[in-house]
Amino acid sequence: MTGTLFIIATPIGNLNDLTFRARRVLSEVDFLVCEEFKFGKRILRNLNLEKEIYLLNEHNEKENAPNIIRELLHNNNCALISDAGTPIFSDPGHYLISLAIENGITISPIPGVDSLIPSLITSGFDVSKFYHAGWLSPKKEKRISELKKLQEIKKTIAVMETPYRLRQLLGDVKEVFGEDIQISLACDLTTEKEKIIRGKISDVLKAVEDLNEKWEFVLVINNNKILNYPKFKKGESLFSL
């Protein structure tokens, strides 16, 4: 018998989004694995829990993952969480998961909130097939090169970036895809500041500059189909009495 490694999705802004199942599992596991003590303690404090916390981030994963595996092999259960959302996608943990599989440890996903799917489904674009580009290079020259490769992918494309590079990213997308490309910018999802800005990238870029806000965001690019839907007047009745 070994312990179970639970992969738990955590809220991206609204703590009420933590599922009942995630709450129960977090209360039952022997220890928590996360990127930073601050977020892990915040989750535990919100649930009135105290657990031992193991750090696992890009700087120490290769060093710390074996210790976590040893604990699991001693029949201790653990919960892996990211700073927000679903672990592994853009966060550390892949090496730990691979080690767990190699050592015959049971892995159980506890699904929940993430930023990718809500950003896609609120875009209005065709998301039956999409391309998750993830995080692009912080260096402009390489980012432009990556965007040129993405421009050849005729699907809806999702891109992530840090808040302080939003304007630079939008400017580069405009340069590569053209000012008429349709995008959807999903900002601070699930929070009171939640905002989704849709339209031509030139218009969205102007709106971002005018609002001058700092958001966590996901950029969705419609590199697939031209949208041409009818518009209706407000208050217009669809049925005759």
CATH of the domain at 135: 3.30.950.10
Assess whether 94 and 120 both reside in one domain: no
Assess whether 146 and 81 both reside in one domain: no
Assess whether 105 and 142 both reside in one domain: no
User: Does 83 reside within a domain?
Assistant: yes
pLDDT (0 to 100) of residue 232: 76
* Enclosing domain of residue 84: 4-110
Assess whether 90 and 12 both reside in one domain: yes
> Cα separation of 4 and 21, whole Å?
15
Assess whether 83 and 132 both reside in one domain: no
Helix/strand/coil percentages in the chain, nearest 5: 35, 20, 40
User: Does 233 reside within a domain?
Assistant: no
What is the number of domains present in the chain?
A: 2
Assess whether 90 and 122 both reside in one domain: no
> Cα separation of 18 and 111, whole Å?
10
Assess whether 52 and 77 both reside in one domain: yes
User: Does 68 reside within a domain?
Assistant: yes
pLDDT (0 to 100) of residue 236: 66
Residue 43 sits in a domain whose CATH number is 3.40.1010.10
Do 3 and 71 touch, CB atoms closer than 8 A? yes
pLDDT (0 to 100) of residue 237: 64
pLDDT (0 to 100) of residue 238: 61
User: Does 239 reside within a domain?
Assistant: no
Domain finish residue from 50, 83, 110: 110
Do 27 and 49 touch, CB atoms closer than 8 A? yes
| Closest among 66, 64, 5 to 32, alpha carbons compared | 5
The 31-34 sheet, strands edge to edge: 52-55, 31-34, 78-80, 4-8, 106-110
Low-confidence ranges of the chain (pLDDT < 70): 226-227, 236-241
User: Does 44 reside within a domain?
Assistant: yes
pLDDT (0 to 100) of residue 96: 96
pTM > 0.85: yes or no: yes
